[in-house]
Amino acid sequence: MAERINILYEKKPCYDIVFDTGFAALSEEMNALFGKERKICIITDSNVAKLYLEAVKENLKDVAKDVVSFVFTAGEEQKNLDTVKSAYEFLIREKFDRKDVLLALGGGVVGDITGFVAATYLRGIDFVQVPTTLLSQADSSIGGKTGVDFNGFKNMVGAFKMPKLVYMNVSVLKTLDERQYYSGFAEIMKHGLIKNTSFYEWLLDNMYEICDRDEEVLLKMLMQSCMVKKLVVEKDPTEQGERALLNFGHTIGHAIEKASDFKMTHGECVALGCVAAAFISWKHNWLSMEEYYEIRDMFVPFNLPISIENIDPEEILKLTKSDKKMENGTIKFILLKKVGKAVIDYNVTDEDIINAVKEILYIEDGE
Ligand code: GLY
């Protein structure tokens, strides 16, 4: 029996996150929400299509008037308005109207594009998220952020659009390559660090089962992680305040991602960003030295980096200033008041950032 969590929007029930170990129950969920008279367009990318498109199409064929698919080339660089335009053209050709439904089958890029198309096509049509990476299950499929990159700026054009359902099949995590799998952990650990000490401790206690991708443990982990995100996005769905806490590790993380020319994964950069932010929290006397080192070292068993070669602290500082997290010229930095309690801080200095980047700069012994 699938587990579920409901997400409220403006204090009213808005959509369920369903946690399951297969795709079988997706059709029941879709039928309960939409009936059988709607058309469904599955939007996915060329990698995910090979793995799951036929199974999902087959699962949905009896609960829709028609099931079609729009498949675009996999890759972060496809998260742009050209892909959105091709999707509009496809939907127009297939005569999709406002009563029809889009279904995002894939990782963060697929979810963000599908959500943005759903927010704008015919001024908005329903959409469902079926995330297939740990990163998208833990983070991007929840909370209604959608959008694309524009002229080299990440997520510069977008909309808030709530899905009608998020359906998480944890068994798909078994096909992820190690790098993609572990990349998702940075956001999961972040959820423990910013809001839930017992979840953080649970992650430490269950690291071997998590690394083994034990389905029961994965379900438990995702449910606890999604509870943190639920509580934050329900309080502040459009990021007027508290939702910014989810950016813990992202200010320096995004700067490293840009400096690496997006060759490092998002999760790897967020892990480094979390270490740097925890270091600043220690230097502000909020965390103890032991807590800082425990946080830093907990990324290691999950194959996430805690140091990096060849970065220039001055360049990283400059890049943090071009990030969206600036407010009136001041960096809105997320720090830890203690483990399990993040705060927004406007007093992080350039020197704090430089020192934190130096802390994660890998220097070979003897040099
Ligand atoms: N990924 C951060 C957020 O959803 O606000």
Strand, coil or helix: what is 44?
Answer: strand
Residue 345 near ligand 1, beta carbon < 6 Å: no
Residue 109 near ligand 1, beta carbon < 6 Å: no
Closest ligand 1 atom to 145 CA: 4
Give the pLDDT confidence of 247-287 residue by residue, as tens digits: 999 999 999 999 999 899 999 999 999 999 999 999 999 99
pTM, 2 dp: 0.94
pLDDT of residue 2: 87
Q: In angstroms, what is the C-alpha Rg of the chain?
A: 20
- What is the Å distance from ligand 1's center to 238 Cα? 10
- Hey, CA dihedral for 52, 58, 64, 65, is it positive or negative? positive
Name the residue with tokens 């329900």: 234
CA angle 160, 165, 167 (to 5 degrees): 120
Strand, coil or helix: what is 281?
Answer: helix
Q: Are β-strands 341-345 and 333-338 bridged in parallel, bridged antiparallel, or unpaired? A: antiparallel
Average confidence score pLDDT of the chain: 95
- What is the Å distance from ligand 1's center to 34 Cα? 27
Instruction: Give the pLDDT mean for 293-312.
Output: 95
Give the pLDDT confidence of 207-242 residue by residue, as tens digits: 999 999 999 999 999 999 999 999 999 999 999 999
Q: How far apart are CA 242 and CA 224, in angstroms?
A: 19
pLDDT of residue 367: 43
Give the pLDDT confidence of 163-216 residue by residue, as tens digits: 999 999 999 999 899 999 999 999 999 999 999 999 999 999 999 999 999 999
Place 153 in a pLDDT band, splitting at 50, 70 and 90: confident
Q: How far apart are CA 130 and CA 127, in angstroms?
A: 10
pLDDT of residue 366: 45
Give the tokens for residue 300. Answer: 């290691």
Q: Which of 89-98, 149-158, 225-234, 338-347 is least confident?
A: 149-158
State how far the alpha carbon of 276 is from the alpha carbons of 186, 199, 272, 308, 335, in Å: 13, 21, 6, 11, 10
Q: Whose CA is nearest to atom 2 of ligand 1?
A: 246
Give the tokens for residue 193. Answer: 């660090």
Q: Which of 83-97, 235-249, 335-349, 352-366 is least confident?
A: 352-366
Residue 139 near ligand 1, beta carbon < 6 Å: yes
pLDDT of residue 280: 98
pLDDT of residue 330: 79
Residue 254 near ligand 1, beta carbon < 6 Å: no
Residue 154: pLDDT above 90? Answer: no
Q: How far apart are CA 201 and CA 306, in angstroms?
A: 19
DSSP string, 158-194: EEE---SEEEEEGGGGGGS-HHHHHHTHHHHHHHHHH
Residue 250 near ligand 1, beta carbon < 6 Å: no
Place 329 in a pLDDT band, splitting at 50, 70 and 90: confident
Q: How far apart are CA 359 and CA 279, in angstroms?
A: 8
Count of C-beta atoms within a 10 Å radius of residue 53: 18
- What is the Å distance from ligand 1's center to 111 Cα? 13
CATH fold of 3-175? Rossmann fold (3.40.50)
- What is the Å distance from ligand 1's center to 274 Cα? 15
Give the pLDDT confidence of 91-122 residue by residue, as tens digits: 999 999 999 999 999 999 999 999 999 999 99
pLDDT of residue 219: 96
Q: Where are the domains of the chain?
A: 3-175, 193-360
- Give domain 193-360's CATH architecture: Up-down Bundle (1.20)
Q: Which of 115-119, 313-317, 325-329 is least confident?
A: 325-329
Residue 244 near ligand 1, beta carbon < 6 Å: no
User: Alpha carbon 263 to chain centroid distance?
Assistant: 18
Q: Are β-strands 165-169 and 126-131 bridged in parallel, bridged antiparallel, or unpaired? A: parallel
Closest ligand 1 atom to 247 CA: 2
Strand, coil or helix: what is 345?
Answer: strand
Q: How far apart are CA 99 and CA 276, in angstroms?
A: 47
DSSP string, 123-137: G--EEEEEE-SHHII
Q: How far apart are CA 321 and CA 330, in angstroms?
A: 8
Q: How far apart are CA 335 and CA 281, in angstroms?
A: 6
Which of 235, 312, 248, 303 minimizes the C-alpha distance to 275? 248
CA dihedral 77, 52, 143, 348 (to 10 degrees): -50
